[in-house]
A and B are shown apart, each in its own frame.
Chain A
Amino acid sequence: MHNKSVAELSRELERGEISSVELTQQFLDRIKQEDGRFNSFITVTEEQALADAKAADEQRAAGNATPWTGVPFAHKDIFCTNGVRTTCGSKMLENFVPPYDATVTGNFRKAGAVCLGKTNMDEFAMGSSTESSYFGATTNPWGLSQGDKRVPGGSSGGSAAAVAARLVPAATATDTGGSIRQPAALCGITGLKPTYGRVSRYGMIAFASSLDQGGTMARTAEDNALMLNVMAGFDPKDSTSIDRELPDYTATLNEPLKGLKIGLPKEYFSDQLSPAMEEQVRNAVKEYEKLGATVKEVSLPNAKLAIAAYYVIAPAEASANLSRFDGARYGYRCDDPKDLMDMYTRTRAEGFGTEVKRRILVGTYALSAGYFDAYYLKAQKVRRLIQQDFINAFKEVDVLMSPTSPSPAFVQGEKTNDPVTMYLEDIFTIAVNLAGVPAMSVPAGFVDGLPVGLQIIGDYFSEARLLNAAHQFQQATDWHQREPQ
């Protein structure tokens, strides 16, 4: 049962072969038995899940089912869930129970999906390894059999590990600089970061508002499409969400790929990439050629500036976004503050972890009088150049393909003391967020028994095309079906 996709489970529920209550109980039992090894969940909402499953079964019986009615899944603990604590991986919000739903969580609720709990993540989504969580690191299900505790990537490492370990068939995630694609790649699953503005950010705790985008994680491209059907759409509560026609993302999955023009950005096949990784990615591209696609080299000349620009813009926005965590109204407050300044400084010193504090300091510095032009304004100019690179590339080709990460999952602790090396994990993913275009990571092979991800980048609002390309690849390969031992 736990190997089945959302699409398969949905069909079985529809045919009455299993009830949502049974299904939900099976997955809850599995989480209880297995998650001790992975720590992929921060909170498991057993009681609520079973109640929701019962309601879903009644809804199916009444004939009002959606494809999601009764299907179990999980939310990254960055999406606010009414009545269920939402921590964002931080001590600051350890006891925070929102009295409202994020638009995304509300959409899944309305669709009748059964949320089993909230998954682990880097604190405030700042990280590439899910090691900065206040609730402990998450371990990648891959590599354990070789005796290594490896990172699942991050920041959505809890969602990725839970899906890879078959604890849930699907989970929501967010991506600010690669936080969906890189963990999807490192855990051997399929993830999609939609176009900026496609999925509402309301109720999704902000890291860097102009880059944050909610997205999907599952084992198959088809399940990603089913998720996006629920998540995407204009939201009047989010001024940056875009009012644009919403396709049925499952409808075009089976379009043939003949004539698909693939571009390989030469900057993404550089020395930073190990030969073994490159071989896997090039093999995947060859598979596409077999499916009728044509391939050419393209250039993203400013891609090399992406990390530098990102580490000005994202921390700058974060420094303001995280100011609200001041101990005054909700969340953590230090004991016995002696005055206002003491409350602010100790609450924030004690409530935030090292990486969050590092980024608040970097962002505060970049926005300071005398530095603003040299850092923030300059980074915004670079951002426009990078955007233009993608616009130019998509005049020549339909999609871009590259590795998702420079290397497979690394061992826990390996990069925690070297933030810059950690930041380079996102070298192939960050430019996509700066441009706002959609991108996926699709399982595309193994190096040393560890999954390798293929990144597919599309033009604005081309999610249907990306899902189609990923689905066709998955009809021809079985990398996405491999199960960690």
Chain B
Amino acid sequence: MQWDIVIGLEIHVQLATKTKIFSGSSTAYGAEPNTQANAVDLAMPGTLPVPNEQAFRYAVMFGLAVNAEIERRSVFERKNYFYPDLPKGYQTTQLERPIVGPGYVDIDLASGETKRVRIHHAHLEEDAGKSLHDTFYDELGHGMSGIDLNRAGTPLIEVVTEPDMTNAEEAVAFAKKLHSIVTSLGICDGDMSQGSMRFDVNISLKPKGSETLGTRTETKNLNSFRFMEQAIAHEVERQMDILEDGGTIVQETRLYNGDRDESRSMRTKEEANDYRYFPCPDLLPVEIDDSFIEEARNSLPELPDARKARFMDQYGLNDYDAGLLGGDSKLAAFFEEAVSHGKDAKLTSNWIQGEFSARLNAEEKTVADSPISGAQLGDLVVRIADNTISSAGAKKVFEALWSGENDNVDAIIDAKGLKQVSDTGALEAMVDEVLAGMPDQVAQYQNEEDPKKRKKMLGGFMGPLMKASKGQGNPKLFNEILVKKLGG
């Protein structure tokens, strides 16, 4: 049977506020456990939540960036359940009246198509703390669980999409687009390895063309695009196997283990908690007025879609390059710094997508950790464009910049003697000498009629020429001289 896949996402985005959503504790990542948890975060008796206005501003900015309605009056509710990393015994969240109403995001697909994914709503809530299992031991060596409440109370927006995606590619494209939006807005640091963005994927299958949705499962807490892609493939296959064997899907929450590519059931619908939501009496409804929204609107930075359009217009980049460079705010900033030095936008773009990205990936670094600045890459591009160095030489310069051996492009070129010989007279002399030593190849070339084959044969002379010039001859000029001397 043929199946339609239906995917909806829930994304938790940690907001980059300095303090927590309802207390003055710092939200900085990586501190000693429980050093960033005050009496409110510990849910000491009598303590009360005080809302952090910055979290509301960020939520409104997000809403505007995804073309959503902003709710003028949103309400915090208590979601009741017991867990050690939830100190109050309830999570303060929004249910009936979320701050961000329906909106949408457009995603670009590999096919060149653009697809609209609708956002059902986005709401503000507090994050829980963390349970650290088997990191402590009692005197008998039994593993004990520890609780770290540093994260408890970190503001989150939970973005809930409509089930508009039909395969992993779309889901990942949406996730990347959302990552790009929140980092461009500066409302989230986007560091997925630290849990700044976490994805829950809802998946169901239905017979191709059917109008009725199948039973869905939710796979929780995926913290990388790769795991998300794998988890979707895994879950689709699991459901398909069950359905094709005549079985039924159980509505349940599943956990995916990315390292083993396997998933297991966490709880079924029947085992789900009754969260007993009700409006939090410690917090008044959040009133958002026009001026607050206008202020947020005016503070919106350039968003990925607008930046892509500008990159195409201002730098003449093609759709793909502009989308790639414009989609990531840090990469975009790096590109613009480079191109302000390097001038040649296409060449700059090629270097960023080529050598630069490859090195970042190889060393698992982000643009922010790059040892090379945009200005340095721009300087390098200048020397490539004006023929001072060959592309082989440029790679050596890049290497020296990356390793920190030297931070000045021209100094590296001098020190390593990478400057190309572009003196035509000297190059012609070398060509004459090399051709004189290769009479058979010259004759073969001149007898060949197929221009494609001739072009290929030209390469056979380049090796000896580069060797003769100790790698410093300008390959482009060598090529021109060769063609001329060999008679076209």
Contact = CB atoms under 8 A, between A and B. Distances in A.
Interface stretch (B37-45, B216-224, B428-436): B37-45
Contacts of A367: 80, 276-278
A383 to B, nearest CB: 12
B195 interface: no
Interface residues of A, number: 43
Contacts of B296: none
A236 interface: yes
A291 B197 CA distance: 69
A340 interface: yes
B50 interface: yes
B82 A323 contact: yes
What is the interface residue range for chain B against chain A?
Answer: 20 to 34
A323 B274 contact: no
A324 B43 contact: yes
Of B39, B46, B84, B277, which is in contact with the most chain A CB atoms at under 10 Å from its CB? Answer: B46
B46 A206 contact: yes
A316 B90 CA distance: 13
A320 B45 contact: no
B31 interface: no
Interface of B: 39, 42-51, 78, 80, 82, 84, 87-90, 147, 274, 276-278, 281-284
Contact of A86 (B45, B49, B51, B281): B45
A209 B169 CA distance: 48
A153 to B, nearest CB: 23
Contacts of A460: none
B50 A100 contact: no
A88 B45 contact: yes
Nearest to B274: A369
B78 A320 contact: yes
Contacts of B284: 239-240
Given A98-B44, A369-B274, 13 more contacts: A79-B46, A99-B39, A102-B46, A209-B281, A209-B282, A237-B48, A237-B50, A240-B282, A240-B283, A323-B82, A344-B82, A364-B276, A367-B278
A481 B101 CA distance: 61
Contact of A100 (B44, B51, B87): B44
A344 B86 CA distance: 13
Contacts of B39: 98-100
A237 to B, nearest CB: 6
Contact of A316 (B48, B89, B278): B278
Interface string A178-195: 000000000000000000
A323 B45 contact: no
Contact of B48 (A93, A201, A328, A329): A201
B93 to A, nearest CB: 13
Given A99-B39, A239-B51, A326-B82, A320 B46 contact: no
A96 interface: yes
A253 interface: no
Nearest to B37: A329
A239 B282 contact: yes
A326 B89 contact: yes
A80 B45 contact: yes
Contacts of B278: 316-317, 320, 367, 372, 376
B50 A324 contact: no
Interface in A50-103: 79-80, 86, 88, 93, 96, 98-100, 102
A414 interface: no
Interface in A192-233: 201-206, 208-210
Given A237-B50, A239-B51, A340-B84, A96 B89 contact: no
A330 B87 CA distance: 11
Interface string A358-397: 0000001001110010001000000000000000000000
Interface of A: 79-80, 86, 88, 93, 96, 98-100, 102, 201-206, 208-210, 236-240, 316-317, 319-320, 323-326, 328-330, 340, 344, 364, 367-369, 372, 376
Given A99-B39, A328-B147, A364-B276, A236 B45 contact: no
Contacts of B82: 323, 326, 344
A402 B43 CA distance: 39
A214 B45 CA distance: 15
Contacts of A79: 46
Interface of B is mostly: loop
28 contacts: A99-B39, A201-B46, A201-B48, A202-B48, A203-B47, A205-B46, A206-B45, A208-B281, A209-B282, A239-B283, A239-B284, A317-B278, A317-B281, A319-B276, A320-B88, A320-B278, A323-B82, A323-B90, A324-B87, A324-B88, A326-B89, A330-B44, A340-B84, A344-B82, A368-B274, A369-B276, A372-B276, A376-B278
Given A329-B87, A372-B278, A323 B80 contact: yes
Contact of B90 (A209, A320, A376): A320
A88 B147 CA distance: 26
Nearest to B43: A324
Contacts of A324: 43, 45, 87-89
A205 B45 CA distance: 5
Contacts of B283: 239-240
Nearest to A99: B39
A320 to B, nearest CB: 5
A233 B89 CA distance: 30
Contacts of A80: 44-46
| A-B interface, 10 closest residue pairs, ranked by CB to CB distance from nearest | A323-B89, A209-B281, A210-B281, A367-B276, A203-B46, A324-B43, A205-B45, A205-B46, A80-B46, A369-B274
B44 A320 contact: no
Contacts of B47: 100, 202-203
Nearest to A79: B46
A87 to B, nearest CB: 10
A344 B89 CA distance: 11
A177 to B, nearest CB: 15
B83 to A, nearest CB: 8
B46 A239 contact: no
Nearest to B147: A328
A410 to B, nearest CB: 31
A319 B82 CA distance: 12
Nearest to B34: A329
B75 to A, nearest CB: 13
Contacts of A326: 82, 84, 89
A332 B84 CA distance: 15
A373 to B, nearest CB: 11
Given A210-B281, A239-B283, A240-B282, A320 B48 contact: no
A210 to B, nearest CB: 4
A206 B87 CA distance: 15
Contacts of B51: 239
Given A329-B42, A344-B82, A376-B278, A239 B48 contact: yes
A98 B46 contact: yes
A368 B282 contact: no
Nearest to A197: B284
Contacts of A316: 278
A236 B281 contact: no
A319 B78 CA distance: 11
Contacts of A206: 45-46, 282
B276 to A, nearest CB: 4
Contacts of B147: 328
A221 to B, nearest CB: 28
Contacts of B50: 236-239
B48 A238 contact: yes
Contacts of B44: 80, 98-100, 329-330
Contacts of B277: 367
B90 A93 contact: no
Nearest to B88: A324
Contact of B276 (A86, A209, A368): A368
A202 B276 CA distance: 25
Nearest to A322: B89
A212 B277 CA distance: 21
Nearest to B23: A237
A9 to B, nearest CB: 29
